[in-house]
Structure 1
Amino acid sequence: MARDNKRPLPLGEQFFTPGATGVRKAVEQRSAVPMTFLFTQVPRWAAPAVLVILLLAGFAVANPIGGVAVLPVIVFIGWLAYLSWPSLGIGGKLLRVAMLTFLVLLAATRFGAF
């Protein structure tokens, strides 16, 4: 018999922002399936490992290919930042803005904008 290695979803947490409307509600609803897939189907180490590899490629390759490597990292971190924004304190918000600013500047330098 095959062993089921899926992780259960965490208990007691809401995925959707209470009272959300418009774009936030739509993004949260569309994000539910990929977020659940990442949590239950993908090994816990896989997403961070892929992001680190792409980020290292962005640091190592000082041309537009390095910039292209950083773009999925920007999208993924931006997506997670957007989803977690309502539940964050000021410190968490500042950290996410700083991280996204750093990543955008890294990509911009690789594309020759600076």
Structure 2
Amino acid sequence: MATRKPLPPGEQFFTPGATGLRKTVEQRSALPLTFLFTQVPRWVAPVVLVILLLAGFVLDSWLGGLAVLPVVAFVGWLAYLSWPSLGAGGKLLRVAMLTFLVLVVADRFGAF
């Protein structure tokens, strides 16, 4: 039986004063994020994402686009959650990464 890892130390889990969509997304993300951090080995998520991304590069068809969609969703989800705490460089990097991934998906679905 695996032992549970403690949550990382931090001042706050949610964005102070968040309302509307941000508050809802943060609240609904708390359980999956906690599960990923405490129950899943650290190497699993990156390995799965790299495998899906490589499949997207190798498969030059709609299947490649389909393989990259979970990567887009995961990266977009984490980017949205981390956005308020990022500086300009971090925001630019996330926008560039998401743009690249969306272009890969669009290319594989034949949009270009």
Q: Which residue of 1 aligns with 2:45?
A: 47
- State the partner residue of 1:35: 33
Quote the Cα distance in structure 1 between the aligned partners of 2:33 and 2:11: 14
CA distance in 2, matches of 1:5, 1:87: 30
One-letter code of the match for 1:67?
G
Q: Which runs of 5+ in 1 are unaligned?
A: none
Q: Which residue of 2 aligns with 1:108?
A: 106
| Superposition pairs of residues 60-79 of structure 1, within 5 angstroms | 60-79=58-77
Secondary structure in structure 1 of the residue aligned to 2:14: coil
Aligned to 2:21: 23
Alignment partner, residue 87 of structure 1:
85
Q: Distance in 2 between matches of 1:33 and 1:57?
A: 29
Identity over aligned residues, as a percent?
77
Partner amino acid, structure 1, of 2:98: L
Alignment RMSD, CA only?
0.9
- Where in structure 1 do 4 or more consecutive aligned residues deviate above 6 Å? none
Distance in structure 2 (CA, Å) of the matches to 1:42 and 1:66: 26
Amino acid at match of 2:68: V
Q: TM-score, normalised by structure 2?
A: 0.97
Distance in structure 2 (CA, Å) of the matches to 1:14 and 1:6: 21
In the alignment, structure 2 segments of 5+ residues that lack a partner are: none
**Which amino acid in structure 1 is aligned with residue 30 of structure 2?**
A
Secondary structure in structure 1 of the residue aligned to 2:53: helix
